[in-house]
Amino acid sequence: MSQYSELEKKAGRIIVGRLPADDLPADFARELSRGGMGGITLFRENCTGVDQLSALIADIYKESHFNPVVTVDQEGGAVQRFVRATGSIPSAMAFAACPDRALVRSVMEKACRQMKLLGINLLLAPVLDVLTNPLNPIVSTRSYGSMPRMVERSSREMIDIIEASGLIPVGKHFPGHGATREDSHHTLAVSDVSTDRLLQVDLAPFKALVSKLPAILTGHIWVKCVDDEPLPASLSPRIVNGILKDYLGFSGLVITDDLTMKGLTESSSIEDAAVQAVLAGNHLLLICTGLEPCALARQALVKAVQDGVLEEALLDQAIEKLEAVLPERPQISDLAHGDKKIFALLNTLTKEVGEESHRVGKITASFLKGSASIEEGSSWFVVAPDHSRYGLNLASHLKKYADARYGDTAPVFEEVRYDMSAEFEENKKLVEGLRGKNCIFLTFRCLINESQMQLGQMLADECAGKIAVCTDTPFDYNGLPDWPCVIATLDPSDRAIEALADALIDGSIDQKASAYYSRLQEGVSSINIDRVMQ
């Protein structure tokens, strides 16, 4: 097996790839061992259980020529990858809203400890985006809030927890994704804020925490007040070298978001993106698809150096920054792999994280409007979106808790699924079958989904008992004007939906987190929702 040259290894060192399955394929192992790749970002498909995940991470360390980057964006709520191994943790928004600070800190401390025991060294969190656009399709409950101080306060707390566990926290998505209307996974996101708004709002959490953060991730966001032509912030020298490093004085590790996201690939090949990213000031390149894009990026970096387009010193600087933050390479024996005592501890932590996350969910699920009463012997239809990613299985959870509480007199819950892109006639037919019935209607970002809002209005007109649940962004409240009772979960994960069911059945749901929602509304008060929706 031929070895890579020193220049090829330098280029490979700063590239982090993605595995296609729950093991380490031979071709990936070969690239890691030859120095053609510097690490792996782990995703949901890479985890089927704690034993498997532990073995996979041990294999990554064993095969890697370098001390590898082993990273994951285990944010909680809508974005978490290790549910099959480590349990579900609350969303950033739930973390910020929960009045029991000792409880949420305990959850996150234990979750971070699990990741450290497994061998994760770089955690792609916290999210520092200030959620100022209620129609934002990607940030939503991943944000701690809609005002800079809200985001700064919770992010500071999270950074301390992550670092105390021995992990490296990564603030994202610089220079701020909260004002956008687009999802950068699918297209280039656009931030149309003024220079003053950028400085005072979007950049504020980064500015406040720049001295605490060892690493920051740049987003695929075109900031129009900075760059005249469409250019992702991740590839913008003005933003990375100019604003992040020169203006804010950041001297740590700069990481790109995934260079294969459509927000970037619409305008750049992986080869051009890799070179532009390093020239702009990034040190570590995430390439979250197969092996070929990683090879193309590495080859492009080598060629750029050979052609005089890219100074080799930039690769040296990038590696220096990476090695400055990366912990010492652990021995395989130091990982959970094969250690029954560590596995037992991981399983105990998983149980405790699950129980505490459930308690957080019961606290943060709250009435934004009205109140709910589900009486013994009553019958309810739970109308939930047929979502490709989130189960939103409220009906089954309600049945479990109702049966345990009431036995033979338990309320009856029947699930009805709706198509989030249904035409009017399909919604009309669904509503006709529910006329005069009791209905619990679940939304998922209905403000950017006309069919959902249409269905919600029709159900409000025709049903008897009416409870609406905003399962992700609480701003769905604004699309439910005729619902007498509206509940926000601040988290779309199954753990949060189960906690909501528990709270509804035992009557413990109240308005504990509604004050937080009021602050969220205050933070976006400068945005006219009707205008933004046009």
Predicted local confidence at residue 526, as pLDDT: 57
Question: Within 13 A of 140's CA, how many CA atoms are on the CB side?
Answer: 28
Residue 329 DSSP class: P
- Is residue 128 within 8 A of residue 209, CB to CB? The reply is yes
What radius of gyration, in Å, describes the C-alpha atoms of the chain? Answer: 24
Confidence of residue 181 (pLDDT cuts 50, 70, 90): confident
Q: Report yes or no on 6 lying in a domain.
A: no
- Least confident stretch, 375-379, 484-488, 525-529: 525-529
Question: Can you tell me the mean pLDDT for 427-455?
Answer: 97
Q: What does the pLDDT look like over 202-243, one tens digit per residue?
A: 999 999 999 999 999 999 999 999 999 999 999 999 999 999
Domain boundaries, position 499: 366-512
End position of a domain, from candidates 280, 309, 343: 343
Q: Looking at the structure, do residues 36 and 85 belong to the same domain, yes or no? A: yes
Count of domains forming the chain: 2
Q: Looking at the structure, do residues 96 and 61 belong to the same domain, yes or no? A: yes
The CATH number given to whatever domain includes residue 450 is: 3.40.50.1700
531 has a pLDDT exceeding 60: no
Predicted local confidence at residue 375, as pLDDT: 93
Q: Report yes or no on 526 lying in a domain.
A: no
Predicted local confidence at residue 528, as pLDDT: 42
Q: Report yes or no on 525 lying in a domain.
A: no
59 has a pLDDT exceeding 70: yes
Predicted local confidence at residue 514, as pLDDT: 81
Q: Looking at the structure, do residues 337 and 372 belong to the same domain, yes or no? A: no
- Is residue 162 within 8 A of residue 169, CB to CB? The reply is yes
Predicted local confidence at residue 533, as pLDDT: 35
Q: Looking at the structure, do residues 155 and 297 belong to the same domain, yes or no? A: yes
Predicted local confidence at residue 183, as pLDDT: 82
Q: Report yes or no on 216 lying in a domain.
A: yes
Q: Looking at the structure, do residues 308 and 392 belong to the same domain, yes or no? A: no
- 424-432 and 450-462 helices cross at what angle (nearest 10)? 30
How many degrees, rounded to 5, is the angle at CA 15 between CA 14 and CA 17? 150
Question: Can you tell me the mean pLDDT for 304-333?
Answer: 95
Q: Report yes or no on 5 lying in a domain.
A: no
Q: Looking at the structure, do residues 321 and 422 belong to the same domain, yes or no? A: no
Pairing mode of beta strands 168-174, 215-218: parallel
